[in-house]
Structure 1
Amino acid sequence: MSAREDMLAAIRRHRPTATTELPELPSFARLGPRELGPEFCRRLAQMGGRLMQPGPAGDPLAPARSLIAGAGIVCSMVPELPGNRALADADPAALHDVDLAVLRASFAVAETGSVALKSADLGVNALGYLAQRLLVLVDPADIVENLHHAYARAEFQQGAYVVLQTGPSATADIEGVLIHGAQGVRALTVLLA
């Protein structure tokens, strides 16, 4: 056995067996259900994300199809908005040239303007970082108020991987020059549909 295996085995043997109940947390709710959507949109814009207005009642995904049609390489995890590159069992390094990733978020957080993406939403976890742009569909009924509500959701309790994507990648220097897309996605567009 290697030193690493010996150490891990010792940790496993000496792990406490008692379970401790977690304290009850207040919900910190301050917004009504009708305020969640507008608050999410306001925070999304503050973080550099864009809100795409849905199309007419008969075809709310029409604007998304237009965006996809103008993109180069598109990987989609949304069956009703197919891409032009298959994602099944893709090697993460093979996603280096993806122009647009089309995803459906598990939920969104109004407080931060974030979308929650779990492994099943991404197909390949690296897609959320290697694509140049993200188009994320969010069901308005799946907007939670704050991070307390987000972390109480089943996705964080059961999933091995969940990420909160908040706007496009950004960096700023000491003089306050903000650059989007410096280390990751250049644009995050959200369609509430």
Structure 2
Amino acid sequence: MSSREKILKAIRGCELENKHLPSLNFGECKQEDLLAKFSQTLAAIGGRCRKVGGVEQIDAYIQEAGSKYPCIINAVSELRGFNIIDFVNADARTLASTAIFIVRGSVAIAENGAIWVTEKNIGNRSLPFLCQHLIIVVTEEDLVVDMHDAYEKNAIDIDGYGVFIAGPSKTADIEQSLVIGAHGPLSLEVFIIESSSNKP
């Protein structure tokens, strides 16, 4: 019997005691507390959070940004200037000139400031990583406490490709000095639409 077979036989012979998973009940958290916690966490990792009353305020922001930036790609159909259809099959060279990319997020996590974005909302997988400035739109109902809640809320088996995005790109490899906008978006801004407003 080879060493490999001996090791595998020993592993198969081990019987581990079944143990119950720990409880993940962290108690109730009010919606306003979630928003404050998410905003604080996002700021700590270099992002910005802005609460708005409805999509018209985001439209006004897009219109203002349009006078400053030549290329804005919008993947949120309810917002002004929806044009992701024109870029779904675009290559990286074309997308590299994107100044602002606007996308809809599915879940925003107060624990770590991450936002779950699915491929059906992105349109083109490269855009969140090639744009200069990233804007993600969520609603207050999309806020959850932690990753456990996020996985319960997400239909990952249905969504297919998706990505958790937490803040703008950053690195601290050199002299442990944090650099924002190192190899991707220079900024991340999250618009949170109030509960009473219609979801985009």
- TM-score, normalising length: structure 1: 0.77
Distance across 1 between alignment mates of 2:179 and 2:154: 34
Q: List, as ranges, runs of 4+ consecutive aligned residues in structure 1 with deviation greater than 6 Å.
A: none
Distance across 1 between alignment mates of 2:117 and 2:143: 13
Q: Which runs of no fewer than 5 residues in structure 2 stay unpaired?
A: 1-19, 194-200
- TM-score, normalising length: structure 2: 0.75
Distance across 2 between alignment mates of 1:127 and 1:27: 36
Q: Which runs of no fewer than 5 residues in structure 1 stay unpaired?
A: 1-21
Matched, 1:81 2:55: no
The 1:25–1:156 alpha-carbon spacing in structure 2 relative to 1, beyond 3 Å, is farther
Distance across 2 between alignment mates of 1:81 and 1:166: 25
2:116–2:164 contact (8 Å) kept in structure 1: yes
Residue 60 (structure 1) aligned to one of 42, 57, 60: 57
1:27–1:149 contact (8 Å) kept in structure 2: no
2:75–2:83 contact (8 Å) kept in structure 1: no
Distance across 2 between alignment mates of 1:102 and 1:23: 39
The DSSP-based 3-state class of the residue aligned with 1:167 is: coil
Matched, 1:43 2:41: yes
Q: How does 1:1-193 map to 2 (within 5 A)?
A: 26-29=24-27, 31-54=29-52, 59-61=56-58, 62-79=60-77, 80-82=79-81, 86-193=86-193
Distance across 2 between alignment mates of 1:92 and 1:23: 44
Sequence identity (%): 27
2:31–2:140 contact (8 Å) kept in structure 1: no
Task: Render the CA deviation track for 1:28-57: whole Å, top value 9, x for unaligned.
Answer: 345222311111111110110012353x66
The 1:93–1:57 alpha-carbon spacing in structure 2 relative to 1, beyond 3 Å, is closer
Distance across 1 between alignment mates of 2:55 and 2:121: 25
Give how far 1:177 is off: 2.1
Task: Render the CA deviation track for 1:16-39: whole Å, top value 9, x for unaligned.
Answer: xxxxxx968634345222311111
Q: How many residues align?
A: 171
The 1:122–1:25 alpha-carbon spacing in structure 2 relative to 1, beyond 3 Å, is farther
The 1:159–1:184 alpha-carbon spacing in structure 2 relative to 1, beyond 3 Å, is same
2:42–2:49 contact (8 Å) kept in structure 1: yes
Give how far 1:141 is off: 1.1
